[in-house]
Amino acid sequence: MGLVTGSSNAIICALAAARNTLLKRQGYDLAENGLRNAPAIRIVVGADAHSSVKAALSVLGFGKAETEIVPTDEFGRMKIENVPELDNHTLLILQAGNVNGGSYDPIDKLCDLAKERGAWVHIDGAFGLWAAASKKYRYLVKGMEKADSWSTDAHKTLNAGYDCGIVLCRHRDEFTAALQASGAYIQYGESRDGMLYTTEMSRRARAVPLWAVLKSLGAKGVEQLIDTLCGHAEHFAAGLQKAGFELVNPVFFNQFMVRCETERKTEHVLHEIQNSGICWCSGSKWKGESVIRVSICSHATTREDIDKSIRVFCQALH
Ligand SMILES: Cc1ncc(COP(=O)(O)O)c(C=O)c1O
């Protein structure tokens, strides 16, 4: 496990390990010979992957044209029947929690498929991987333990404050080899050296706030936090539907999208909400159309706050 700024960097670290390992399996040493003459590896990713995944691929030397994009369903989940044949030089990138509607790729089935063929699976679970800590929501990430690497944030669902990204990898030696050069002046400790698991040497002690949050909440507290955020999302969505908003997706986790009858109305309502001073939501585009994106992510939000916010939405609509 490495502690980094956020998921954007965590994804870069994990995909670097994946890239180097997949090349090594073909007998190619990237650190020695460079990317330019490397044999091909395949990248398979869902059409609704987060922009930071696309950025990470670009940083690591993979262009859009060589990425195999898997079509997604109306909620943003990869369609299994459209996943191309996988093999042992393929990197399959899955998503646990879409930034707009919170949907999850079919992780369990796709991990099985990938494992059968020897592909590397990475799961981007910036906010959604935390579903694993809740008995009620862990079905969403069923099978996630079969992946090779994972990225998530303690500064999102866990509320640990910026910046606190987490990268995890099953293959320790491959992971550290991908991220490290060596420096003769470095004195390695006898216990774990955190810098070996990130791209950075000088870093703040992110383990301290992460530890403090986990220690103070405990497993039960983390579960309660997740169940509360998701419960608020369900209550919020039900209230908005009752008030006449169209719910664009079911509430999978702690966020969802709504819209009005017309694009113009959606944008007007969003503007009113953003200026209300009561709650704040961002606008987004979903399958080309404007939506209001509602995400409940603060431990301090109460049921009363949600009810007040529903009233703001209603006032803006009417
Ligand atoms: C699914 C997903 N992946 C990656 C990221 C990037 O995370 P960060 O802002 O911590 O770099 C986000 C941010 O919202 C996200 O929702």
Please report how many Cα atoms fall inside a 13 Å half-sphere around the Cα of residue 178, on the Cβ side. Answer: 24
For residue 127, give the nearest of 149, 92, 103 by alpha carbon: 103
Instruction: Return the pLDDT at 123.
Output: 99
Instruction: Return the pLDDT at 189.
Output: 82
Mutate to test the pocket of ligand 1, among 13, 72, 153 (most ligand atoms within 8 A of CB): 153
Query: Rounded to whole angstroms, how far apart are CA atoms 256 and 208?
Result: 32
Query: Rounded to whole angstroms, how far apart are CA atoms 197 and 214?
Result: 21
46, 72 Cβ separation under 8 angstroms: yes
**Every domain of the chain and the residues it spans:** 2-204, 218-317
Which structure tokens are listed for 177?
């080899």
306, 235 Cβ separation under 8 angstroms: yes
Q: Class assignment of domain 2-204?
A: alpha beta
Mean pLDDT value of segment 198-226: 96
Q: Class assignment of domain 218-317?
A: alpha beta
pLDDT at 220 over 90: yes
CA–centroid distance, 183 to ligand 1, in Å, is: 32
Indicate the residue type of 95.
Q
Share the mean pLDDT of the chain.
96
Q: How many CB atoms lie within 10 A of CB 271?
A: 12
Mean pLDDT value of segment 263-274: 97
Q: Please tell me if the domain spanning 2-204 has the same topology as the one spanning 218-317.
A: no
Mutate to test the pocket of ligand 1, among 50, 166, 167 (most ligand atoms within 8 A of CB): 50
For residue 89, give the nearest of 52, 114, 70 by alpha carbon: 114
Cα 93 to chain centroid, rounded: 11
Instruction: Return the pLDDT at 315.
Output: 96
Instruction: Return the pLDDT at 137.
Output: 98
pLDDT at 183 over 70: no
**Residue 127 to residues 225, 278, 296, 297: CA-CA distances in angstroms?**
13, 24, 11, 9
Q: Please, which pLDDT band fits residue 191 given cuts at 50, 70 and 90?
A: confident
Residues within 6 Å of ligand 1 by CB: 6-8, 50, 52, 97, 99, 124, 126-127, 153, 165
Mean pLDDT value of segment 201-211: 94
Answer whether 0.85 is exceeded by the pTM: yes
Q: Which atom of ligand 1 is nearest to the CA of 99?
A: 16
The tokens 């690591």 sit on which residue? Answer: 60
CA–centroid distance, 167 to ligand 1, in Å, is: 12
At 9-27, the pLDDT tens digits run: 999 999 999 999 999 999 9
**Percentage above 70 pLDDT, the chain:** 99
Q: Whose CA is nearest to atom 13 of ligand 1?
A: 126
Query: Rounded to whole angstroms, how far apart are CA atoms 258 and 270?
Result: 10
Instruction: Return the pLDDT at 217.
Output: 98
Q: Which atom of ligand 1 is nearest to the CA of 156?
A: 10
Q: Whose CA is nearest to atom 7 of ligand 1?
A: 7
Q: What values do phi and psi take at 97, rounded to 5? A: 105, 100
The tokens 């009561």 sit on which residue? Answer: 278
Q: Which atom of ligand 1 is nearest to the CA of 8?
A: 11
pLDDT at 308 over 90: yes
